[in-house]
Amino acid sequence: MTPDDIQTLIDDATFDFSMGETGPALAKLNQATVSAPDSFAAWHALAEIQFSLRNLDEALRAAEHAHALRPDDLFINTTLSRIWMERGDKPAAEKYGAQAKILSWKDQLKKPEGQADGIK
């Protein structure tokens, strides 16, 4: 599968999930992660949907795959923090939450003054 095919699967899965079609959404994301195991977007989308379904073990597994691919991604660190909090592991949640905050600050420092709020 091409990167465009993988992105189409992710987009379709996200749409399916938003329409209440969880089975097809999960099937498409599982296909994406098998076809492109290095697709951060596929693993992250799978983590978010599993988290929304309260499948915390599956959410954590997918989030850890995504994190292994991009440990410095703000959003996957936030996702991991939320998963660990729901699992009742406050120290792990705080670890990933702190990492997300640091990454957010780094991102803000890269933007010229006034652009953090979309102001030019």
Tell me the CATH number at 68: 1.25.40.10
Instruction: Let me know if 107 is exposed, middle or buried by CB neighbors in 10 A (0-12, 13-18, 19+).
Output: exposed
**Tens of pLDDT along 13-56?**
999 999 999 999 999 999 999 999 999 999 999 999 999 999 99
Q: Which of 12, 89, 17, 88 is nearest to 47 (CA)?
A: 17
Domain membership of residue 117 (yes or no) is no
Residue 50 lies in a domain: yes
Helices (H) and strands (E) in the chain, counts: 6, 0
116 in a structural domain = no
Q: Which secondary structure element, helix H or strand E, spans residue 68, and what is its range?
A: helix 56-69
**Which amino acid is it at 95?**
K
pTM of the predicted model as reported, rounded to 2 decimal places: 0.82
- Domain residues for the domain of 45 are 3-110
Domain for residue 92, yes or no? yes
The answer to whether position 86 is within a domain reads: yes
Q: Residue 68 pLDDT more than 50? A: yes
User: How many domains does the chain fold into?
Assistant: 1
DSSP 111: S
